[in-house]
Structure formats: C-alpha cells, structure tokens
Amino acid sequence: MGERRVDQWEKRLGLRVPPGPYRAVLATELARVGADADNDSELDDATLAAITGAVVSGHTYFFRDADQLGAVVELLGRCTERPRLWCAGCSTGEEPYSVAILAAEAGLEVDLVATDINPEAVAWARAGRYPASALRHVPPELLARYFRSNPSGYLIDAGLRERVQFEVHDLFSGVPPAGGLAWDVILCRNVLIYYQPSKGVAWAASVRGWLKRDGGLVLGASDHLAATLGTAHQVRGWPVYRAAPAGAGVPDGPVRPDLYRRALDEIDAGDPAAAENTLATHLARRSGDVVAWLSLGNLHLSRHDFVGAERCYREALALAPTLAEAHFWRGVLRRKQGDQDDALRALRAARFLAPEFWPAAALLGSLWNRRGDRARGRAEHERALALLEGNTENPFQARVRGLPGLQMSADELRALARA
C-alpha cells in the first residue's frame, strides 16, 4: 500500500501515527483488510477497532505518574456519595488497578469501570496476571498486600480484581460505557496523543457532558489539550477539566462516520426518504450508533410511522439507558400517540437524567398544561426558559427536521412561562 493511501487512512481514522514501526503496522493492517481510501466503502466497527488497536501502543505500568493517580483518588474522596470513575483507554489494566489500590488504601469504596478498544488488552486486564516488570513502581508493602507471586509473575488479589469492571469500548463511539453517565471522574491518559488534536478536543468536550455537575476530566501529562479545553482547576498541580456547564448530557462532537454525515445532508436537502435509506445502511454496519438510531426514529416519527419510531428509540435506549435525549424522544412519540401518562414518565426520566436539558422541561410544561395542571405547567416552562437563556446552544444530538414545534424559541417559551 502506498504512502498516500496510508496518509489518507490515518486522517480518516483520526489517528496520528508517527513514522516508524507503528506506521508500518498501519500499512500492513490496511492491506490485510483490503482498505481502499479512494472508494467510499466503510469498514465495519470491529475492523476499524482492530486497526486502531494494532497501531496504538498499549504501553502502561502500575503506578505510572503515581502522583497524578493520588490526585484522582483525592478528588474521589471529596465526593459526597459513592464515587464513580471511568478509566478510558485502560490497556491491560495496570492503571485502573493502581487507582483501586490507592482507593482501598484510603478506605474509599469506588465504582470503577475501565474500558479499552482492544479486546485482547481487556482480556489480559480481567485475568489480572502481570510480569514483574509491570510492577516495578509498586511500593513493596503494597506489592505484599495486593499481589500473589507465582512462577510466571504476579496475580492481582481477587478482592481487588472484583473492584474493577472491564469492558471493550471505543471511546469515540458516542455511547457511554456500561456504567452509563454521571461520572465523578473520567480518567483518560496517554490515549488522545495517538489521535489528531481536533478529534481529541471534540471527544474531551463531548464527554464533559457525561460528568456529574462537580465531576472532572483528567488527561495524561502528555495529552496537550489544556490550551483548547479552557480553564481547569488543579489538584496537587494536576489540571482537572470541569463538567460542561450545561447541556443534555450527550456528546456533541465525536467525528461522525461518512454515511451518517451524508444522511444529515439529505435531511437538510429535504430528502427524508434518501436519508432513511442511508441511515439504515449506516446502522447495518454501525448498530451501536445511538444518535443515528435517534435520527432514524425522528424521520419515522415525522411521517407518523409510530411503529418504526418506537423500534428505533427502543434500540437507542437499549444501547444507552441513561441517555436523556433517548427518553425525551420516546416521550415525544408517546405524546403523539396520545399516551399522556407514559409520555410524562419518559419526559420526567429525561429531566431527571439531564436536569439542564431544557426541551424536556418545555415539553413537560405543555403536558402538564394539557392535563389542566397550570401551576406545574408554568413552573416547568419557567425552568426551561431559565435554562435556555443560560445556554443558547441547541442541545439536540439527533436531527429534528420535520418535527416543527419542538425547537421552541425563547420567545415562545417566554410567552408560555408567563401565560
């Protein structure tokens, strides 16, 4: 495969692969899967993940930048409820186990979910077997407390192993990991350096909506995103990026695959039938794209195909049960079908999951009004208005063309809130 093709694929995957052995691996992998950047073919998720897993180094070890891990545990210790940490790009598990050890030492119970795109790395992490070289920075007393030596190296203590839940997950998938949303800390170190800066910045900005209001995003010392991500507060001198100030708790920036973008263009061009076809093709390859399911559901909804819409929203909710926008659209569907009780339940779920998501409050207000409860209706409209005025961004991820009346303007809301 020629250098030009490799360059094109590097860009397409959003990767940054320096000249040297990993670039050669990229060329070999691309040739293996028959990738051709000149045609518009899309490779399926598993193939793309395998390529990424092969060209991104999995280098890691216990207590890497231990001072920063100490700062993370300090952050977790400030939580008022049982803290939740997502370790994204955990490789073979040394990093999340190090956090688990430090947390145990501090007497902290933590919900810890660790993910990586590389299934082999995750299998290693689950097994918890390590060579002595991976443990070279573990203080002797912790080594004695949390590891058992055996002829081939060390086995992590079973109790500690149970404290970390591992999962194969692509952090750019747009779908949160098994633990859902509302993290106290998202830890992602030495992963984004392998991606083009714009992709890393978009990801970091988008997952800040997955943090609790007081939560923080912690990146690696070499992930130079500080300038673009805005102000961070510091813990022990380590920057911690705050949760997004407002929003629906859903991502708004991951690089979208080509077919999804084409479907959005077709929606914009007023050709919903073509968009439906394109989205269906896209989802046959990327069945985990929750936002595409919502977009397809909305297209069905706009032509009153309630059964089709229901199926799509159900798929989205199965993938991301804590995604406020998925509950919201299900509520919209139920309202259109005349099932006010269920619509109310779905919208309240959306409002609970993402209190800043003003469309849920706006629609809830209208629903209460329709049920004759004017006081609750006004309260919800006032709440939606305050949120909208504080945050002028449209918080929808899925395209809402063809569903007029949902993108309420501030003026309309104001009138409702004062009615």
Q: Which is nearer to ligand SAM, 190 or 206 (CB)?
A: 190
296 binds ligand SAM (CB under 6 A): no
Least CB distance to ligand SAM at residue 360 (A) = 30
CB 19 within 8 A of CB 55: no
The piece of 4-12, 111-119, 278-286, 406-414 that touches ligand SAM (CB under 6 A) is 111-119
Which residues in 195-254 contact ligand SAM (CB under 6 A)?
220
| DSSP β-ladder status, 153-156 and 129-130 | antiparallel
The residue count for binding ligand SAM (CB under 6 A) is 24
Q: What is the CA radius of gyration of the chain?
A: 23
- Identify the DSSP state of 89: S
Considering only the stretches 28-36, 170-178, 353-361, 380-388, report the one whose residues sit in contact with ligand SAM under the rule CB under 6 A: 170-178
CA pseudo-torsion sign 277, 279, 282, 284: negative
**Closest separation between CB of residue 318 and ligand SAM, Å?**
21
169, two tokens: 């997950």
Q: Is residue 286 at the binding interface for ligand SAM, with CB under 6 A as the rule?
A: no
The alpha carbon dihedral of 280, 286, 290, 292 has a sign of negative
| Minimum gap (Å) between residue 294 Cβ and ligand SAM | 22
Task: For residues 280 and 296, give the distance between their C-alpha atoms in angstroms, rounded to a whole number.
Answer: 8
Q: Which residue, 214, 213, 217, 234, is CA-closest to 225?
A: 217
Ramachandran bin of 211, using left for φ above 0, alpha for ψ from -120 to 50, beta for the remaining angles = beta
**Residue of 10, 17, 50, 52 that binds ligand SAM (CB under 6 A):** 52
**Nearest Cα residue to 111 out of 42, 202, 197, 180:** 180
Q: Are 170 and 45 in contact (CB under 8 A)?
A: yes
Our finding on whether 68 is near ligand SAM (CB under 6 A) is no
Q: How many CB atoms lie within 10 A of CB 49?
A: 19
Identity of the residue, 93 or 365, whose beta carbon is nearer to ligand SAM in the bound complex: 93
Nearer to ligand SAM, 24 or 221 (CB): 221
For ligand SAM, give the closer residue by CB, 191 or 296. 191
Other CB atoms within 10 A of residue 62 CB = 24
Find the binder of ligand SAM among 60, 68, 206, 278 (CB under 6 A). 60
Among 37, 47, 58, 339, binds ligand SAM (CB under 6 A): 58
Please identify, using beta-carbon distances, which residue of 146 and 329 lies nearer to ligand SAM. Answer: 146
Q: Stretches 112-120, 255-263, 326-334, 338-346: which one binds ligand SAM (CB under 6 A)?
A: 112-120
Report DSSP letters for 142-180, one per residue. HHHHHEEEETTEEEE-HHHHTTEEEEE--TTSSS--TT-
Amino acid occupying residue 62: F
Interacting residues with ligand SAM between 357 and 386 (CB under 6 A): none
Only one of the segments 17-25, 141-149, 187-195, 234-242 lies at the binding site for ligand SAM (rule: CB under 6 A); that segment is 187-195
Q: Does 180 bind ligand SAM (CB under 6 A)?
A: no
What minimum distance in Å lies between the beta carbon of 42 and ligand SAM?
A: 17
Cα–Cα–Cα angle for 41, 43, 45, nearest 5°? Answer: 150
Write the CB contacts of 268 (distance below 8 Å, at least 6 apart in sequence).
401
Give 199 or 399: the residue with its C-beta nearer to ligand SAM. 199
From the list 115-123, 247-255, 312-320, 400-408, the region that binds ligand SAM by CB under 6 A is 115-123
- 374-390 helix and 358-370 helix, angle to the nearest 10 degrees: 160
Selected from 172, 183, 260, 293, the binder of ligand SAM by CB under 6 A is: 172
Q: Which one among 68, 91, 322, 369 touches ligand SAM, defined by CB under 6 A? A: 91
**Contacting residue, 112, 121, 333, 343, with ligand SAM by CB under 6 A:** 121
| Binding flag, residue 189, ligand SAM (CB under 6 A) | yes
Q: Which spans of this chain sit near ligand SAM (rule: CB under 6 A)?
A: 52-53, 56-60, 64, 89-91, 95, 116-118, 121, 170-172, 189-191, 194, 220
